[in-house]
Amino acid sequence: MIIKELNGKKPIIGRDCFIAENAVIIGEVEMGNQCSIWYNAVIRGDVHYIKLGNKVNVQDGAVIHATYKKSPTNIGNNVSIGHNALVHGCTLHDNVLVGMGAIIMDDCIVESNSIIAAGAVVTKGTHVQSGSIYAGVPAKKVKDISEELISGEINRIADNYVKYAGWYK
């Protein structure tokens, strides 16, 4: 793994986290407890800060970045960022699932209990209301989320990634 200080800013990593051997975490990055950063994931806090809450999983190949002096990245608790997703200069509240290959661009806000579908492109400045599922290119609301999806997908995936990380520690 590469955990690198840059311009006097060193990543702060919470308790009980798993970081894969080839994950990269650079600069002004702060993560909570029980996070997992998987293979080939990159969290690059070189141009602005990046904050992750507790129980965040950043799956294989995902990239988290920000925009220079303009748009930091804030990620809440119990968030899953799917394989090869790109999360850039935006805010994700608690209990969010970002599907595989999704892109969330600068100044977007994704409120709690929401799903961004695999392959979706959430364009700059989009505000995803709590309890929504967004899909497509550009991403649009396709339906309201059900309690079954909150427990069966959002919580299940976040909890499973805590379990998977335990296998690697």
* CA dihedral for 37, 114, 77, 69, sign (positive or negative): positive
Which CATH number do you get for residue 91? Answer: 2.160.10.10
Consecutive 10-residue averages of pLDDT for the chain (169 residues): 95 97 98 98 98 98 97 98 98 98 98 97 98 97 89 90 94
pLDDT at 152: 85
β partners of residue 24:
2, 42
Residue 160 host element (H or E): helix 156-168
Number of separate domains in the chain: 1
CA 23 – CA 134 distance, rounded (Å): 28
pLDDT at 146: 87
pLDDT at 133: 97
CA 146 – CA 123 distance, rounded (Å): 24
Q: Quick one: tokens of 89? A: 């200069």
pLDDT at 148: 84
Helix, strand and coil in the chain, % to nearest 5: 15, 40, 45
Q: What is the phi/psi pair of residue 51, to 5°?
A: -120, 130
Q: Which residue has the tokens 């904050």?
A: 51
pLDDT at 1: 83
**Helix runs in 3-155, H state only:** 147-149
Q: Is the peptide bond before 138 cis (omega within 30 degrees of 0)?
A: yes
Q: Quick one: tokens of 20? A: 């894969």
Interior/surface letters 93-119, b for 16+ CB within 10 angstroms, e for the rest: bbbbbbbbbbbbbbbbbbbbbbbbbbb
pTM reported for the whole predicted model: 0.95
Q: Domain of 50? A: 2-168
pLDDT at 34: 97
